[in-house]
Every structure is written in structure tokens, then in C-alpha cells.
């Protein structure tokens, strides 16, 4: 007997959507509390699990409100009366800070459902350290040395050393995970200050003025960096998550949690420029500076200018005086 047409469902990502996450694959169960949650691609290339229902915006503080635009989660309610709220903010397995009475009541409701679920046989995994760990539970555990990637103002903990990051897409011929590397030496190593961590825990860490080495990808175009975030090689550029053997293994870098991966010493493969390559020009004295010819004007130029040179302000004032003078001087008969 032939199955009816309704047995099959065809799903695709709309061509105008920046997201590659199919909604069928976005529903998951929190392994910490057992609640259903729905994943969305974030505006900054990450993923965020939401309570799978739009809720009235006025019930939640501004920092908890999110809206969905073309499949992408953006902060704020977008001017609408309903919004999405992140699941980690209400996960019963997390110890949340003190909040408003209304939020406390909602979290208490999630807690009662959590306890009831345990009595019915649900076995949660170990308690998460914070809300970020709940949000990143879709990432497969990674062991070994891991480098930190920098792009714009965001820092990401890579699934390994830069040169060892492996594509997560499924190979077309074998059906197994692709063996190609993601990196093609697009970035460069740079030294930055260790990010400040707010709160009491951050104040107890003596990191003031300390630096760390990160692999910077600031020169990449957004589409190229999106390939890195999808953890795809150049052969699988533009592929969707349904083609992947496992989800991307990036997690947001958190100094306190990822202290073991902070690279405080310069990587061995990074060579400092020699004095011969720096050039004589960088060691030269300050270039000669020519000051404006107008008395009491302290503007100047290091470029080669003619004698009697005027800065742009004084030049503009001189032309204005000449125009006014021509208006009042009568032409000779």
C-alpha cells in the first residue's frame, strides 16, 4: 500500500534567511531539568535555547526579551507585545540570583515541574555551573588543548588548536565526518588583555593588567567568519546543519571557567619581527613640522608645504575676508 502524501514532509531554509537551522531540528529537551526548549541562531553566530512559546513582554525585564527576525534571535522585543525568553534564565537546575517577585514565581513553577519530573523517573545530569553552561549543552564535550578565537569584540573557545579544528560536515562520499581542516591561515596571533569578569568571583582573581594570546580573525568578511562558526571547511561552505555529523563545538570564552585554556605565553610558532624588518623609518626622529603662517595659530603640517602655508581654518578665514572685501570695494570707473 502506497503511503499518503501527508506522510512525508519537505523542509528547507528560505533563501532570504541567514539561519541554517531547520525548525524540526531545533526542539530539544534540557538534560539538566527536562524542560522542552527551542534553539535559534543568534545574531552573533551563536545559538540560544528559548522557552518554546512567545510570552507577554511586560512580564519580563528588558535584558531577557528576544525577538525572532528571519530565523535569527535578536535582543529586545522588537516593539512587539510578545517576546521570547531564554530557557537558561528559568532552568530549575541553575541557582538564579535574586530577582523580581514575578520572576521568582515563574521560576518556582519551573522548579515544581522539575521535582515532579524527577518523581516520575527523570534523571538529570550533574548540576550546571551557570546559565551559560545550560545554553551550550548542545555542544559535544571536547578534551585537550583549546585555543581562543577573537572576532570583533567576541571571544570563542575553539574545539582544539587552531590548526587541528576539524570540519563537522558529513563527507559526501563516505557519509562520515569530513577530515578537512577549517583553518587556512586566515588569521594571526595577537596579544590582548584578559577580559574583566564582573561580580565577586571576578574581583577575587588577580588578572588586572594580565594578557593572553588569541587567534584573531578580524580581517574576515562576515560570510567567511560564518563558515568558521559553522565549523565547515572550504568544500562545505554554505552547508546547512542537517548535513553535519555533529553540531559545531564552539563555546563562548569565559575567563573563570576556561582559565586552563588561557594562553599567557607567546605561541612558539609566532615570531617577533626583527630589527632589520622594522626598518630605519620607524627608528627615525619625529618628522619636521611646519607651523601655520598666521600669528598665534598653532596648527601645523608634517607634509612638505610652500613658504607662507596656511592651515585649512586660516585659509578658509582668508577667503571669507576676500569675498567680503570684494563686496564693499567699488570697481574703478
DSSP string, 141-185: P--S---EEEETTEEEE-SS-GGGPBP-BBPTTT-SB---BS--S
Better-predicted residue by pLDDT, 6 or 266: 266
Q: Is residue 83 over pLDDT 80?
A: yes
Give me the mean pLDDT over the 157-166 stretch.
93
- pLDDT of 199 reads 58
197 three-class SS: coil
Say how far apart CA 192 and CA 61 lie, in whole Å.
Answer: 33
Each residue's pLDDT tens digit, 252-303: 998 888 888 999 888 887 776 554 444 444 444 445 667 888 877 777 776 6
- pLDDT of 149 reads 93
- pLDDT of 157 reads 93
Better-predicted residue by pLDDT, 198 or 193: 193
102 three-class SS: helix
Confidence of residue 4 (pLDDT cuts 50, 70, 90): very low
Q: Is residue 182 over pLDDT 80?
A: yes
Least confident of 8-17, 36-45, 176-185, 321-330: 8-17
Say how far apart CA 51 and CA 110 lie, in whole Å.
Answer: 11
Say how far apart CA 155 and CA 82 lie, in whole Å.
Answer: 31
Q: Are residues 298 and 290 in contact, defined by beta-carbon separation less than 8 angstroms?
A: no
- Give alpha helix (H) positions in the chain: 101-119, 131-135, 200-203, 222-229, 275-278, 280-283, 312-328
Least confident of 54-63, 107-116, 132-141, 297-306: 297-306
Closest C-alpha to 299, from 308, 289, 285, 307: 289
Say how far apart CA 149 and CA 156 lie, in whole Å.
Answer: 5
Give me the mean pLDDT over the 83-92 stretch.
93
Say how far apart CA 32 and CA 92 lie, in whole Å.
Answer: 8
- pLDDT of 42 reads 86
301 three-class SS: strand
Amino acid at each position: 500500500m502506497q503511503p499518503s502524501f501527508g506522510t512525508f514532509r519537505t523542509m528547507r531554509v528560505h533563501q532570504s534567511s541567514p539561519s541554517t537551522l531547520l525548525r524540526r531540528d531545533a526542539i530539544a529537551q534540557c538534560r539538566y531539568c527536562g524542560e522542552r526548549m527551542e534553539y535559534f541562531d543568534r545574531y552573533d553566530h551563536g545559538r540560544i535555547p528559548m522557552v518554546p512559546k512567545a510570552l507577554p513582554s511586560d512580564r519580563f525585564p528588558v535584558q531577557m526579551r528576544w525577538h525572532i527576525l528571519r530565523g535569527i534571535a535578536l535582543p529586545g522585543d522588537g516593539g512587539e507585545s510578545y517576546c521570547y525568553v531564554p530557557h537558561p534564565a528559568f532552568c530549575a537546575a541553575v541557582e538564579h540570583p535574586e530577582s523580581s517577585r514575578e520572576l521568582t514565581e515563574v521560576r518556582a513553577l519551573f522548579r515544581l515541574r522539575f521535582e515532579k519530573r524527577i518523581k516520575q523517573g527523570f534523571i538529570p545530569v550533574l548540576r550546571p555551573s551557570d546559565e551559560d553552561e545550560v545554553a551550550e549543552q548542545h555542544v559535544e564535550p571536547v578534551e585537550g588543548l583549546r585555543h581562543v578565537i577573537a572576532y570583533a569584540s567576541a571571544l570563542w573557545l575553539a574545539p582544539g588548536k587552531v590548526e587541528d579544528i576539524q570540519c563537522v560536515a558529513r563527507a559526501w562520499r563516505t557519509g562520515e565526518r569530513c577530515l578537512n581542516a577549517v583553518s587556512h591561515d586566515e588569521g594571526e596571533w595577537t596579544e590582548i588583555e584578559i577580559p574583566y569578569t564582573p561580580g565577586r568571583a571576578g574581583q577575587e582573581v588577580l588578572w588586572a593588567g594580565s594578557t593572553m594570546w588569541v587567534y584573531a580573525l578580524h580581517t574576515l568578511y562576515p560570510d567567511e567568519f560564518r563558515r568558521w562558526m559553522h565549523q565547515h571547511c572550504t568544500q562545505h561552505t554554505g552547508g546547512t546543519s542537517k548535513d553535519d555529523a555533529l553540531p559545531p563545538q564552539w563555546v563562548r570564552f569565559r575567563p573563570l571557567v576556561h582559565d586552563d585554556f588561557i594562553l599567557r605565553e607567546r605561541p612558539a610558532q609566532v615570531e617577533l619581527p626583527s630589527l632589520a624588518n622594522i626598518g630605519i623609518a620607524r627608528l627615525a626622529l619625529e618628522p619636521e613640522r611646519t607651523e601655520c603662517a598666521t600669528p598665534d595659530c598653532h596648527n601645523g603640517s608634517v607634509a612638505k608645504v610652500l613658504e607662507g602655508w596656511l592651515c585649512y581654518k586660516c585659509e578658509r578665514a582668508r577667503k571669507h575676508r576676500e569675498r567680503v572685501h570684494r563686496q564693499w570695494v567699488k570697481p574703478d570707473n
